[in-house]
Amino acid sequence: MSESKKRRSRHNDSESNKKNKACYWSKASKNFQSITGIDPGIQGIFATCERGREPKCVGELYGLFEKVHSEGGREKKKMLTVTIITEGADNEDQEEEEEEDIEAAIQREISGLKEKGDKSKKLFLNVKLDLDCVVFFRTKEPCVPTEIVHALLSGKAQSQSMWTHRLTPISRTGKATPEGLEEVAREVLKPHFHEEGQEVVKYAIRPTSRNHNVMSRDDIIKKVADIVGPKHKVDLKNYDVLILVDIFKNICGMSVVRDFEKLGKYNLQVSRQLQSGEKKTGDKEGPVAEKPAAETSEASEASERKGKSPQKIADNENGGGE
CATH of the domain at 158: 3.30.2130.30
Alpha-carbon distance values, 40 to 129, 157, 175, 253 (Å) = 15, 30, 6, 9
26 within some domain: no
Of all residues in the chain, what percent are helix, strand and coil, respectively (each to 5)?
50, 15, 30
Q: Mean pLDDT across the stretch 172-178?
A: 96
Q: Which helix (H) or strand (E) holds 190?
A: helix 178-193
Whole-structure pTM value: 0.67
3 within some domain: no
pLDDT of residue 43: 97
First to last CA, the chain: 69
18 within some domain: no
32 within some domain: no
pLDDT of residue 317: 42
Question: Which of 51-55, 76-80, 114-118, 318-322 has the highest mean predicted lDDT (pLDDT)?
Answer: 51-55
102 within some domain: yes
Confidence band of 296 (pLDDT split at 50, 70, 90):
very low
Q: How many domains does the chain have?
A: 1
21 within some domain: no
303 within some domain: yes
Hey, is 49 helix, strand or coil? coil
For residue 116, the enclosing domain spans: 39-320
5 within some domain: no
Mean pLDDT of the chain: 76
